Amino acid sequence: MVIVPPSIDLAAVGPELILTGAASLLLLVGVFLKEQSRFLNPWIALLGVILAAGCASSSLFPHTTFQGMYAADLFTRFFKLLFLLGTGMTILISIKYTADEQIEHAEYYALLLFATIGMMLMAAASDLVTVFLGIETLSLSLYVLAGYTRTRLVSNEASLKYFLLGGFATGFLLYGIALIYGSTGHTNLAKIAYAVSHGNLNTGLLTIGALLLLVGLGFKVAAVPFHQWTPDVYQGAPIPVTAFMSAGPKAAVLAVMIRVFEQSIAFMNVDWTVWITILAILTMTVGNIAALVQSDAKRMLAFSSISHAGYAMVGMAAASREGSSAVLYYMLVYTFMNIGAFGILALVARQNEQRTAMRDFTGFAYKNPALAFIMTILVFSLAGIPPMAGFMAKFYIFMSAIKAGQNFLVLAAVLNSAIGIYYYLRFAIYMYMKEDEAPSTLPPLRASLGLILALVISLYGVIRLGVLPAEYLDFAGKALLTF
């Protein structure tokens, strides 16, 4: 018997191939050229990211390939570009950080690229097997990255905690996948959708499977009540890694949620939007209230990133094409603004991350007026103050939920935004309105080239998407059409 080779479309996985190549190159250059090539590492990684982005934005005809395992559509493309943006910005803010902490190894950048490959596969997955492998590739890289500064105890703790709870969550995820397979007989999302809408299925089994899947994904996106690991991990991980983790991976999990719940299980006679609504309300509220009482800026940004996942889930709870496209837009905006804010935090924190408290921002505006101004714009955007992009993103999310009749949910979200404004403005208050008590003896802060580049991208995004959102919204809207 001769097996007919399946038809595969290598161009569709071009970005993944490029990143794999770049990561391999990094590893080999790292071991063959030794120390003297270290300064090259971020630039090799960056080159890979740019090439992959170029490949991802080339024209495509929406289709699935690899025997229905991989969806090459606009949805995938949107997320790929989002992830590459996040990774690129993370690399830029990592350059100085890794040099200061003496961790500018090839491995650091290679792991960032591996994580990005995992995220891309998650967004493109049209089969639960691909979803699982994507999540694993992402998680494995993140566990290691969280503990990358091996000499810092908090970093070790972050890695271990993340690994143990992440492994536990993977168990839920797999069990959910197994039960869905057991009830429908398929792992392919399109086939599951067909089976759900046409077959006489065991809905009990399917419901439990979907719930377990939601729990597993909830862990990964840090939705309350599955968020326990988040604050410690985000605080312990190196700052650029925290920035990376808070944007891309969350968007990737949301992409999986949209694909699985809106495309596949949507036809189930159980109202899954109730689950998402509960998760969204809990996530926003707990994240915001916890962020309110933090005195450490890094921890505060960690909690606030929990609440941002909650806002995004409001759009999912709308269960409409409009809601989903608002989620896409939200995550894009969040990537722009959050990584920029973390970049400035990394600068203020100085070596060994000793100064991450809110009060370390005291008087920042007098010493570095330009950076303080940028930070102000970013936190205004994070808080959702017009005309910044953060406002537009929230606006579209809330609009879609209102149209779906989720008024209570929107009320909760608006109240939460008010809390958010309060704690985000504390940054501005510390920077502008407080005097430095004692004149500090620390050397003045200077933004590195990488940070400046990252901030320029960040500012561009925050202002462009806030003032002229139409083009990107259109892209996000179209992404949902080609499922």
Partner 1 sequence: MQLLIFYGFGFLALFSGIAMIMSRQPVTSALLMILNMFCLAGLYAQLGAHLIAALQVMVYAGAIMVLVLFVIMFLNLREKAGIVSKHGVMTQAVGIAVLGFVITAMVSKLDMAKLPAAKAPAADFGSVVAIGRVLFTDYLLPFEITSVLLLAAIVGAVVLAKRKV
Partner 2 sequence: MLNQYIPVLVMTLAACGTAAGMIIATTIIGPKREFEEKMEPFECGVSPVSDPKSRFGVRFYLVAMLFIVFDIEAVFLFPWAAVFRELGMFGLVEMLVFILVLTVGLAYVWKKGALEWE
CA separation, residue 482 to residues 391, 429, 475 (Å): 27, 45, 11
Q: How many residues bind to partner 2 according to rule CB under 8 A?
A: 11
Under the criterion CB under 8 A, does residue 20 sit at the interface with partner 2? Answer: yes
Residue of the chain from 9, 27, 452, 463 that contacts partner 2 (CB under 8 A): 27
Q: What tokens appear for 400 in the block?
A: 């879609």
Near partner 1 by CB under 8 A, which window of 73-81, 144-152, 271-279, 408-416?
144-152
28 is in the binding site of which of partner 1, partner 2, none (Cβ under 5 to 8 A by kind)?
Answer: partner 2
Residue of the chain from 53, 144, 291, 365 that contacts partner 1 (CB under 8 A): 144
Under the criterion CB under 8 A, does residue 1 sit at the interface with partner 2? Answer: yes
Under the criterion CB under 8 A, does residue 148 sit at the interface with partner 1? Answer: yes
Under the criterion CB under 8 A, does residue 40 sit at the interface with partner 2? Answer: no
Residues in the chain: 483
Distance CA 74, CA 79 (A): 9
User: For residues 232-261, which are near partner 1 according to CB under 8 A?
Assistant: none
User: For residues 204-223, which are near partner 1 according to CB under 8 A?
Assistant: 204-205, 207-208
Beta strands at 63-65 and 70-72: parallel, antiparallel or unpaired = antiparallel
Under the criterion CB under 8 A, does residue 5 sit at the interface with partner 2? Answer: yes
The least distance separating partner 1 from the CB of residue 480, rounded to whole angstroms, comes to: 24
Query: Strands, DSSP E only, in 87-132?
Result: none
DSSP 6-32: PP--TTTTHHHHHHHHHHHHHHHHHHH
Rank residues 27 and 133 by Cβ distance to partner 2 and give the closer one: 27
In 3D space, the residue among 236, 252, 222, 253 whose CA is nearest the CA of residue 146 turns out to be: 236
Under the criterion CB under 8 A, does residue 466 sit at the interface with partner 1? Answer: no
Under the criterion CB under 8 A, does residue 470 sit at the interface with partner 2? Answer: no
Q: How many residues bind to partner 1 according to rule CB under 8 A?
A: 47
Under the criterion CB under 8 A, does residue 456 sit at the interface with partner 2? Answer: no
Count other Cβ atoms within 10 Å, centred on residue 449: 10
Distance CA 151, CA 165 (A): 22
Distance CA 91, CA 234 (A): 18
The least distance separating partner 2 from the CB of residue 107, rounded to whole angstroms, comes to: 9
Under the criterion CB under 8 A, does residue 6 sit at the interface with partner 1? Answer: yes
* DSSP summary character for residue 337: H
Distance CA 125, CA 85 (A): 20
The least distance separating partner 2 from the CB of residue 32, rounded to whole angstroms, comes to: 6
**Which residues, 6 or more positions from 43, have their beta carbon under 8 angstroms from its beta carbon?**
none
* DSSP summary character for residue 405: T
Residue of the chain from 11, 16, 24, 89 that contacts partner 2 (CB under 8 A): 24
Residue of the chain from 11, 31, 415, 445 that contacts partner 2 (CB under 8 A): 31
- Position of tokens 């690899």? 66
- Helix or strand holding residue 275 (H, E): helix 272-292
Distance CA 402, CA 413 (A): 11
Under the criterion CB under 8 A, does residue 137 sit at the interface with partner 1? Answer: yes
Residue type, 22: A
Near partner 1 by CB under 8 A, which window of 84-92, 137-145, 271-279, 326-334?
137-145
Binding site for partner 1 (CB under 8 A): 3-6, 8, 13, 20, 23-24, 27, 66-67, 69-70, 103, 105, 107, 110-111, 114, 117, 121, 129-130, 133-134, 136-137, 140-141, 143-144, 147-148, 150, 159, 182-183, 185, 200-205, 207-208
